[in-house]
Amino acid sequence: MRGGLTRQEIAKRAAQELREGMYVNLGMGIPTLVTRCIPTGLTVFLQSEHGILGLGPPPPPGQEDPDFADASRMPVTVIPGASLFSSAESFAMIRGRHLDMTILGAFQVSARGDLANWMVPERGVGSIGGAMDLVYGARRVVVTMEHVTKDGNPRIVERCSYPLTGRECVDLIVTDLAVIEVGNDGLVLKEVAPGETPQEVQAKTGAKLALSPELREIRV
């Protein structure tokens, strides 16, 4: 089958990076879908930057509480054992390197792991939110995104042309076509989507990919 992973499948692949007991912050877009892909039986504490540790699923219809929303303004619940706190406490947690992982969306990622995800220059204004704190605060930064833009241009590039969110901060990139690790010597292609070849992935990537000795197909 061709065409690469769906957004849900990208989220599912990213969720495979989660481990028991991890504290994780999920960004907007595809990362939000990761919430629904956490393997059954795995306990992961989701952090929301406006003051939740232990974010739960959305409430049943009719039971929404206006005082409980996620960072995308959608109604949420909290899990048993959750805690609530202020924004300064939340970012002390983030900046103090207490989070195990963050999964974020991106416009561009560079060969050395620079991330651009807060501003499209043509719009003239962008929103940073907590992204600049998360990329240097979380111990591991996973990016989920479409491999190319709507116009077919690579989002993985030698140098980002969009304003940076952080420098040399990305550890792993999960796209609809591939899973790529940002190594010390550049990008390493670890997995390709079913039906894709490493050559096809390279052709749609704006930076050189080294092939992992354990290169395999993405399984979701």
Out of 7, 136, 154, 200, the residue judged to bind other proteins by CB under 8 A:
136
Out of 20, 67, 151, 185, the residue judged to bind other proteins by CB under 8 A:
67
Closer by beta carbon to other proteins, 41 or else 66? 66
| d(C-alpha 153, C-alpha 57), whole Å | 35
The minimum distance between CB 35 and other proteins, in angstroms, equals 16
49 labelled catalytic: yes
**Could you identify the residue written with the tokens 């219809």?**
61
Which x/- pattern over 170-209 shows residues binding other proteins (rule: CB under 8 A)? ----------------------------------------
Q: Does 49 bind other proteins (CB under 8 A)?
A: yes
| Radius of gyration of the CA atoms of the chain, in A | 17
Q: Does 125 bind other proteins (CB under 8 A)?
A: yes
Out of 48, 102, 108, 175, the residue judged to bind other proteins by CB under 8 A:
48
Out of 6, 43, 83, 86, the residue judged to bind other proteins by CB under 8 A:
86
The residues of the shown chain that bind other proteins, judged by CB under 8 A, are 48-52, 65-69, 71-73, 84-88, 90-92, 94-95, 114, 123-133, 136-137, 163-168
Catalytic machinery residues:
49
